[in-house]
Structure 1
């Protein structure tokens, strides 16, 4: 286990993140040009979606049905668990919802780093796992926003109301098109889902056109992106001090709990050890791209310094350095 963790820690992907973190801590003038970070994230979303769609074209619906159900289950359960924990530690509703959306969703870059880790260790995994990234992105955001609307409504009105001479549960009134639009058609989800569909449609025939940019250059672009993420995470770290030790501990222990749960679900879905490890990474990571984008407009009362500072400042580096080897080791052990 120690050797696996050290191997991951000394990989170029992780070391560039550490370099960015160090630069932020020592207040270096190193910074990325405006728009470059956004361009790199667009590239990564397209690359993961395309590769997932092309790999998914090799499989029948029957062979991916269980992993899809497992992924949707995780996307539904994890936000609820996070919300319950936050309410137990007396977190206010809006920030609890913000963390539920972030920790129920997925970190694209953590997943990309995990794929690089598996490939470096010569561990095979199901190619359709890239598609599971897309499936886990939206449900958690949608579930979290619906939970917020339901909890707000139940404070203001009875559990059931009469409308048009029929009995209507408030939950049915809460699914407004703006919430659905933010969850399903935000830029991150749209790029992932769109690229996945394109990759699925064109299949292996598109490999000569896709390979030079989206496969051969993937690792190099990931290093650049993580250098920028290190700079951002380093600037977010001081914000967490305002919110106490409980949140910091949550940012460490929640990914371990969720990651182990993800590995178990992957194992029950019949995935290989490599695939189950990736399912653990998906469950154990926290979103700092898609979820914050949705929260910014849907839950403006939630503080970005909490959900973004925790996911990017604590959970992201924890997973990158320690979490990925833990999920990998557990997936190997359980099988």
Structure 2
């Protein structure tokens, strides 16, 4: 286990992320232009989506139905559990919803780092797992907003410490059409779903056109993106600390617990060592692209320094350094 962690620490993606954090701590003037930062995000979204679509085109629906159902299950269950955890943490409802959406959704870059980790270790994985990234991206956002509307409609107290979620009659009106549009047609999910669809339709015939940019250069672009994310994460660390030790414990413990759940579920549905590891990564990571974008529009009262600072400043580096090798080691133990 120690050897795997050291190996992951010495990978370029992790070291450049650490370099970014150091730049923020020492207040270096190193920064990425906003246009370049957004461009790197768009690149990663397209790369993961189209690779997932091409891989998915190789499989029949019958062969991927179990992973799809397992992924949707995690995308629904994790935000509910996160919302319930908000009770002893004494978070108000809106901030608890922010955490539920963020931790129920996934980190594309963490997933990309996990792919690099598996390739470095010579571990194969099911190609359709790239498609699971897209499938798990939006359910948690929709479920979290739906839970918010349910609680508000039930005239619940705004404090989770004194309320239950309750059950109220389901109604389409509980979710505003603008929320649905933001969750499904926001640029992150739109690019992922669109790229996935293009990959599925074109299959292998898309490879000659996309391979030089979106496959061959993927790991190098990921290094640049993680350097930028390190700078942002370092800047947000003080924001997380001022909200108390309970949030820090949440950001350190719950991702590993969710990741263990993902690993167990991946093993139960018969995924390989690599596929099971990636299912753990999907469950254990937290979004800082799609979920924050949707929350900003639909739950503006939620404090970004809590859900974004925690996911980017605590859980993201935790998964890069400890989480990925931990899910890999756990997957090995379960499959023995």
**TM-score under structure 2 normalisation?**
0.95
Show the counterpart of 2:268: 268
Q: Say if 1:87 and 1:93, in contact at 8 Å, map to a contact too.
A: no
Show the counterpart of 2:99: 99
Show the counterpart of 2:112: 112
Distance in 1 separating the partners of 2:262 and 2:49: 21
Show the counterpart of 2:292: 292
Distance in 2 separating the partners of 1:170 and 1:39: 40
Q: Say if 1:260 and 1:327, in contact at 8 Å, map to a contact too.
A: yes
Equivalent residues in 2 for 1:170-189 (5 A)?
A: 171-189=171-189
Q: Say if 2:32 and 2:228, in contact at 8 Å, map to a contact too.
A: yes
In structure 1, the residue corresponding to 2:31 is in which secondary structure? coil
Structure 2, gaps ≥5 residues long: 157-167
In structure 1, the residue corresponding to 2:211 is in which secondary structure? helix
Q: Say if 2:145 and 2:175, in contact at 8 Å, map to a contact too.
A: no
In structure 1, the residue corresponding to 2:3 is in which secondary structure? helix
Distance in 1 separating the partners of 2:225 and 2:255: 22
Q: Say if 2:273 and 2:328, in contact at 8 Å, map to a contact too.
A: yes
Show the counterpart of 2:201: 201
List structure 1 runs of 4+ shifted beyond 3 angstroms: none
Q: Deviations over 1:236-289 (max 9, x none)?
A: 000012110000010010110000000111111211010010000000000000
In structure 1, the residue corresponding to 2:302 is in which secondary structure? coil
Q: Say if 2:40 and 2:221, in contact at 8 Å, map to a contact too.
A: yes
Structure 1, gaps ≥5 residues long: 157-167
In structure 2, the residue corresponding to 1:243 is in which secondary structure? coil
Distance in 1 separating the partners of 2:81 and 2:236: 25
Task: Decide whether aligned partners of structure 1 residues 23 and 113 sit closer, same or farther in structure 2, where only a CA change above 3 A counts.
Answer: same
Distance in 2 separating the partners of 1:296 and 1:175: 16
Show the counterpart of 1:42: 42
**Residue 184 of structure 1: how far off its partner (Å):** 1.1
Equivalent residues in 2 for 1:292-311 (5 A)?
A: 292-311=292-311
Show the counterpart of 1:70: 70
**Residue 92 of structure 1: how far off its partner (Å):** 0.5
Show the counterpart of 2:164: none
Distance in 1 separating the partners of 2:269 and 2:68: 9
Distance in 1 separating the partners of 2:67 and 2:170: 32
Equivalent residues in 2 for 1:154-165 (5 A)?
A: 154-155=154-155
Q: Say if 1:76 and 1:140, in contact at 8 Å, map to a contact too.
A: yes
In structure 2, the residue corresponding to 1:5 is in which secondary structure? helix
Q: Say if 2:49 and 2:196, in contact at 8 Å, map to a contact too.
A: yes
Q: Deviations over 1:39-85 (max 9, x none)?
A: 00000000000100000111111110000000000000000000000
Distance in 2 separating the partners of 1:213 and 1:139: 30
Q: What count of residue pairs does the alignment treat as equivalent?
A: 325
Show the counterpart of 1:330: 330
Distance in 1 separating the partners of 2:38 and 2:87: 34
**TM-score under structure 1 normalisation?**
0.95
Equivalent residues in 2 for 1:211-230 (5 A)?
A: 211-230=211-230
Show the counterpart of 1:20: 20
Q: Say if 1:150 and 1:171, in contact at 8 Å, map to a contact too.
A: no
Distance in 2 separating the partners of 1:169 and 1:250: 31
Does the alignment pair 1:234 with 2:251?
Answer: no
Q: Deviations over 1:172-191 (max 9, x none)?
A: 43033122111111110000
